[in-house]
Chains A and B, each alone.
Chain A
Amino acid sequence: MQQVIILSLKKYLEWTAYVIVPFVLAVLSSVVVERELYTFYGTLAEIGLIFILLLKPISQISGWISLRQLVGLRRPMGVTVFWLALFHGAMLIYERNLLWSDMMGLDNYLFYGVVALLGMIILGITSNNFSLRTLKKNWKRVQYLAYPVLFLTLLHSAMAEGEMIKFYVVSTLFVALKVWAHQKTRKR
């Protein structure tokens, strides 16, 4: 029964990630030119990224089978996050009329957003079977980019909101969970 649910969920997630999300975002973004909407894309992308990257350590620590099965669905979830991040960045660059020079500087939150987006684009375009077959072991290495992307995303949003506490709390929580999960799997 659980397997059936997971398979159905996988099917829906794949349709969402590969078909619905890019189509809806393209249509919505060309019709509604609102900064709030584009910012909302970014918020969703950030939440999604945190969820995806916390999923594995939490499933390893808790040992819940259902969570472990969700780990196998991270790719479509990641592709959804990629589309959200891409449209968040691209539409805000357009809507805010941002120039390359406006996004530079280590004290500029846009800089971290741009770097995170570049990482996300690399992750997005390598999230397919062709890349998996071509890159083989290196595919996993490329996917490790998700970690710096997470920290850069957190830094970007925390600086944008002017509240650094979120960056420190979520980063610490993530590192702590990863260490805990690593120790737990090593003992096994």
Chain B
Amino acid sequence: MKHYSFLTLAVIIVSASLCISVFEVGAKGNGRSSQAIFDYAGHEKPADWGVWEQEQKHAYYRSLGLYPASGNKYQGEFDVDRYFGMLGVNQPDNWDALSLPERQEFVRQVSLGEVENDRQIAEDNIVDGEGDRNENREGGGERENDVIENEVQPLQDDSVSFPLWLQLLLFGAVGAAIIGAKSLIVRK
């Protein structure tokens, strides 16, 4: 009796682990989530993000200048060059090393025109955005307008490419159908 209880538990645990692994692989893409996108871009993730429709999420991404790195799906990544192009500044060299509040402050200052266009950020610039603000604002604004005018329409990719986990599922289902057919024929 104990043996079978243990077996049941083992089956449940193994099944749950497999399922979680499948979802983990499928959901996390290359390991970066939507939270990571917002963190990397220096934006707050909306509190009710989880209940938004996909179109709503994509529209919000685009409103921030976040476009997919390839294809029409984000897959946990965005086009970083395009994002900074939209912001009208070069990506700071030390961007990866900045903390989330520092990135958010940088983006806030850029949106206020407080960061010089095409200037690489230094830690000090994040906190003290002093300087010729009007000039920066004009420069940043012009560049931003240029980008918006030349903005490519929302990315569309008609070709369907399934991720590996989904391909496995599809092939698994076909395999199950073949095995099912074989067992039903043999039973006859």
Of the stretches A42-50, A51-59, A108-116, the one at the interface is A108-116
- CB proximity of B58 to chain A, nearest CB, Å: 8
Chain B positions within 8 Å of A3 at CB level:
none
Of the stretches A25-33, A150-158, A166-174, the one at the interface is A25-33
In the complex, the answer to whether A122 meets B12 with C-beta atoms within 8 Å is yes
Closest residue of A by beta carbon distance from B169: A90
Partner of A90, one of B26, B28, B73, B180: B26
When chains A and B are docked, how far (Å) is the Cα of A86 from the Cα of B73? 22
Chain B positions within 8 Å of A25 at CB level:
173
Chain B positions within 8 Å of A21 at CB level:
177
**Residue-wise interface mask of A (85-100) relative to B, using a CB-CB cutoff of 8 A (1 in contact, 0 not):** 0110011011111111
Q: A134-B7, A138-B5 are in contact. Are A101 and B12 (CB under 8 A)?
A: no
When chains A and B are docked, how far (Å) is the Cα of A96 from the Cα of B49? 13
Interface status of A19 (Cβ within 8 A of chain B): yes
Of B11, B171, B184, most A-chain CB atoms within 10 Å: B11
Of A83, A102, A103, A108, most B-chain CB atoms within 10 Å: A102
Partner of B177, one of A23, A33, A136: A23
- CB proximity of A95 to chain B, nearest CB, Å: 8
When chains A and B are docked, how far (Å) is the Cα of A19 from the Cα of B181? 6
Closest residue of B by beta carbon distance from A131: B11
When chains A and B are docked, how far (Å) is the Cα of A21 from the Cα of B174? 10
In the complex, the answer to whether A99 meets B8 with C-beta atoms within 8 Å is no
Partner of B184, one of A14, A30, A33, A96: A14
Chain A positions within 8 Å of B27 at CB level:
93, 98-100, 102-103
- CB proximity of B43 to chain A, nearest CB, Å: 15
Partner of A22, one of B4, B26, B180: B180
B interface with A by C-beta (< 8 Å)? 1, 4-5, 7-8, 11-12, 15-16, 19-20, 23-24, 26-29, 33-35, 49-51, 53-54, 57, 73-76, 160, 162-163, 166, 169-171, 173-174, 176-177, 180-181, 183-184
| Known A97-B73, A138-B4; 14 more pairs at CB < 8 Å | A14-B184, A18-B177, A18-B180, A26-B177, A83-B173, A96-B54, A98-B27, A100-B24, A101-B35, A104-B50, A118-B15, A131-B11, A134-B7, A135-B7
